[in-house]
Structure 1
Amino acid sequence: MIDIEKPIEHYFRLANIFYGQANIYESEGDLQKAYIYYLRLCTLGVEDIKKHPSYNNEKYFSDVNKIENICLNSLDAMERIDPILKQKEKEGTFINQNSLLNWVAEQQMLNFNTEKAQRETKADGKNLSIQTDEVAKNIKKLAFSNYNIIDNPESNSFRQLYLPSNIFNIFHKLAHENTIRNLETCGILSGTLANNKLTVTHLVIPKQTSTSDSCTTTNETELFFYQTKKNLLTLGWIHTHPTQSCFMSSVDLHTHCSYQLMLPEAIAIVLAPRHTVNKGAFQITNSGLQVISNCRNPNMFHPHENEDSLYKDLMTQKVLQSKN
């Protein structure tokens, strides 16, 4: 589903995240998860994203064209995978058979619009016509294949996320100059997906502006290109509270909501150097995601009812995996 309050770039990034994960799963032979991510991408790129008010803005025609191209590639991949999955179901050779759910695409509201979607603009002096009806018709045919498949790999079984054990000390040192000036610092936790495990491998410090209680990145496009070049996923973010204790503020919750909606395992790390409990790794709960994603309060800092119950500290629950 599209939230028209979010910039369309958010959905371009989400499409690329789905595509990257689908490619990894296919290369590793996990065709069930690969098929799901290809299908998610095509649902987003062929139908859902058209509902965004910026979709027909000429400024984004090039980006939309790229998304439609990877949807075509995804269609090819699904056509490769489809008969293999059917054969595996026939033979009863699905992995983790007991954990599979009966999955029917109709329940996923895949009501693809098969009407021709054409836009014309100028590209290198030539007319560019983008058509999505072929993708929609073929995806619809594949989507209604009726066989058992994992419905949502994240909601039923979260992937393990490995975090370098020294990341807290590294970021503490990087942020020190800002901390002594009472300025927040933020960084992006980037990493890889392999064998159904997520591993933080890079700590990226983007260009940013800071105050004592907020931090905002200023060139997300540059960050996106860097991660794309190195085939990195965004696995979460890390920031300091130079004057406050270790918790998730309302601003933090809204910021992290976007991360976690794109990747359910995404984490938010908070360092509060001047407090005894000086570090935490947080995730928003399922009920918290509903509250935050539906919140339309325009004020930067604002309370949410039962705010402490909207998120959980993974460090106290000992669910994070350290990797030296």
Structure 2
Amino acid sequence: MATAMLEPSQRLRDLFSKGSQVDINHNVPIRRYYRSCQELMRMASVYLEEKDLENSYILYAKYIVLSVEKLKTHPDFNNVPAAEKAANRKALKLAFEKAEKLKPLLKNKYEEAYKKYIQQQERATELARLEKEKRRQEEENIKAEIENQKRQLEKEQMDAFLNERRRKELEMERLEIEAKYSDQAAKDTKQPLLPIDFALPPIFCNSSSSTENTSAIATAGVAVQIPPKAATTKPAINRSLKPTLITDNSTVSNVHNVDQLSTSFTASLTISKNKYGLRTIVSPSELSSKFMKCAEANTCKNIETCGVLFGKLANEEFVITHILIPHQIGAPDSCDTTREEDMWDFQDQYNGICLGWIHSHPSQTAFLSSVDLHTHYPYQCLMPESVAIVCSGKFNEVGYFMLTPDHGMNVIGNCRKIGFHPHPSNPALFEACDHVKVSSSQKVEIVDWRKK
């Protein structure tokens, strides 16, 4: 609703501005940015097929801004092969065409949304007017009720006053009769004091007035206390308020025992929302066990093994479909890939999206070392959802990690040291991912190039 209140042309400008928020980090090799541009085109095409026009337009905008403005500022821009630059220019033309075709579609969509917003505002204004009129009528009814109660109280007080005055008149008449017959009795003591059929006049006193009226009415020099009737009204009750149900959502750690992945981990990570609003990555539950089986020989020799995660985008979720184990040089606490251009050919062959990387810790627990933090930085820099999976062979653990976007990315991005070196640990530079969902219904294929 917040965006629907904007005019369609403004929403289009804001959407392109969102896609323009792309920065270049000179520590990331420029050829990785070129590969990232290709992934942007793939994801934009998937979004377009799924009728997700906004995300498709944003990704095309990112591609355009990267290709036209940002890549030229990289210090290694002149070292990029001419063929790769030519391919980028060809894709850029396509991105412009797609973005221009999306503009009228988005504009029509936003115009419809804006029209509905205006109609809703008009309805809301009318409802507010009717509600105001209703409250005014209720206030008038309450005021009229108070006036009626006031008039009823005055009537009861007047009736009580008249009844009391009549009672006193009858009492005076009785006293006169009594005095008359008293004089006669003095002459003839056998004559009764009062006639047999004479009785005292009834006291006409309103029971409600005598107990509730507090006004003092003075008549013939006598003050009669008549308590007033209290005016009572029902308390106002706001029936628009409802009790709120508060639930306690427990947090889920992303370091798990390998043997429990297919049960507790799968059930606990079915989360629709996450801390940073990232798109979900679906990881097959068999992924860690299949990878560790391939790494078994190295693990026995206390040598790390690493692989690259590839997948696809479908219905706003990334699904890991392949693990590529490239040519590499391993050590007890590190692993370096070689022939990186072969990995790009693999990515083109399977039309996949790079979703992060995975490596083993033969003799340590699952965590990210200082070298691991620098290794993961380019992945997360190019795609915020990228995950670093660590499998501990000795402690039977699997961790799904990421650099903290608000701190870890800044610290590692500005760090120029190489090899193992200390980093400040408070606040933490990395954390467990809460946007990874493990699924037993998905399968993963491992491609091992070490034997090629």
Q: TM-score, normalised by structure 2?
A: 0.55
1:136-175 residue CA offsets vs partner (Å, 9 max, x unmatched): xxxxxxxxxxxxxxxxxx9963111110001111111100
Alignment of 1:298-309 (within 5 A): 299-306=418-425, 309=428
Residue 84 of structure 1 aligns with which residue?
Answer: 105
Whole-Å separation in 2 of the counterparts to 1:36 and 1:91: 20
Distance in 2 between residues matched to 1:183 and 1:84, nearest whole Å:
54
Note if contact 1:253-1:284 (Cα within 8 Å) is conserved in structure 2: yes
2:67 pairs with 1:26? no
In structure 2, how many angstroms separate the alpha carbons of the residues matched to 1:69 and 1:51?
20
User: Residues 16-63 of structure 1, C-alpha deviation per residue, up to 9 Å, x if partnerless?
Assistant: 111111111112111100000000011101110011122223x52211
Instruction: Give the corresponding residue for 2:285.
Output: 165
Partner residue, 2:392:
272
Which whole-Å CA distance do the structure 2 matches of 1:323 and 1:261 have between them? Answer: 29
Post-superposition Cα deviations, 1:250-291, rounded to whole Å, max 9, x if no partner, equal 111111111111111111111111125x22111111121111
SS in 2 for 1:270: strand
Structure 2 CA distance, aligned partners of 1:17 and 1:156?
22
1:199-278 matches, within 5 Å, as 199-275=319-395, 278=397
What is the 5 A alignment of 1:154-193? 157-193=277-313
Q: Which amino acid aligns with 1:194?
A: A
2:282·2:436 contact (CA, 8 Å) conserved in 1? Answer: no
CA distance 1:307–1:320, change in 2 (3 Å): farther
* Deviation by residue 1:183-230 (Cα, 9 ceiling, x = unmatched): 100011111001111001111111111111111110111111111111
Q: Which residue of 2 aligns with 1:321?
A: 438
Which of 31, 36, 57 pairs up with 1:35?
57
**TM-aligned CA distance change 1:27 to 1:155, over 3 Å:** farther
**Paired residues of 2:283 and 2:436 also in contact (CA < 8 A):** no
1: CA distance, partners of 2:438 / 2:365: 24
After superposition, the CA RMSD in angstroms is 2.0
Equivalent AA in structure 1 for residue 278 of structure 2: F
* CA drift at 1:5: 2.6
CA contact (8 A) 2:400 2:436 kept: no
2:364 aligned counterpart, secondary structure: coil
Is the aligned partner of 1:281 residue 2:400? yes
Structure 1 residues 203 and 218: alpha-carbon distance in aligned structure 2, compared to 1, 3 A threshold: same
Per-residue deviation, 1:248: 0.4
Q: Which residue of 2 aligns with 1:136?
A: none
Q: 1:273 to 1:308 in 2, by over 3 A?
A: farther
- The secondary structure found in structure 2 opposite 1:92 is helix
Give the direction of change, closer, same or farther, for the CA distance of 1:207–1:242 in structure 2 (3 Å limit): same
**Is 1:75 the equivalent of 2:85?**
no
Question: Partners in 1 of 2:71 and 2:368 — Cα distance?
Answer: 30
Which amino acid is 1:18 matched to?
Answer: L
Q: Which residue of 2 aligns with 1:145?
A: none
Is contact 1:162–1:323 with CA below 8 Å preserved after alignment?
Answer: no
Structure number with bigger Rg: 2
- Cα deviation, residue 308, structure 1: 7.1
Percent identity over paired residues? 38
Once the two structures are TM-superposed, the CA of residue 93 in structure 1 deviates from its matched residue by 7.8
Please tell me whether the aligned partners of residues 282 and 313 of structure 1 are also in contact (alpha carbons under 8 angstroms): yes
The answer to whether residue 86 in structure 2 is matched with residue 65 in structure 1 is yes
Contact map agreement 2:57 2:99 (CA 8 A) in 1: yes
Tell me, what secondary structure is at the counterpart of 2:367?
coil
**Aligned runs of 1:292-303 on 2, under 5 Å?**
292-297=412-417, 299-303=418-422
Alpha-carbon distance between aligned partners in 2 of 1:242 and 1:216, rounded to the nearest angstrom? 16
Q: Structure 1 residues 251 and 212, CA, compared in 2 at 3 Å: closer, same or farther?
A: same
- In structure 1, runs of 5+ residues without a counterpart are 95-153
- Any idea what SS the aligned residue of 2:336 has? strand
**Alpha-carbon distance in 2 for matches of 1:93, 1:184:** 56
What is the CA distance between 1:246 and its match in structure 2? 1.4
For residue 68 of structure 1, report the CA deviation from its aligned partner: 1.4
Instruction: Measure, in 1, the Cα distance between the counterparts of 2:111 and 2:47.
Output: 22
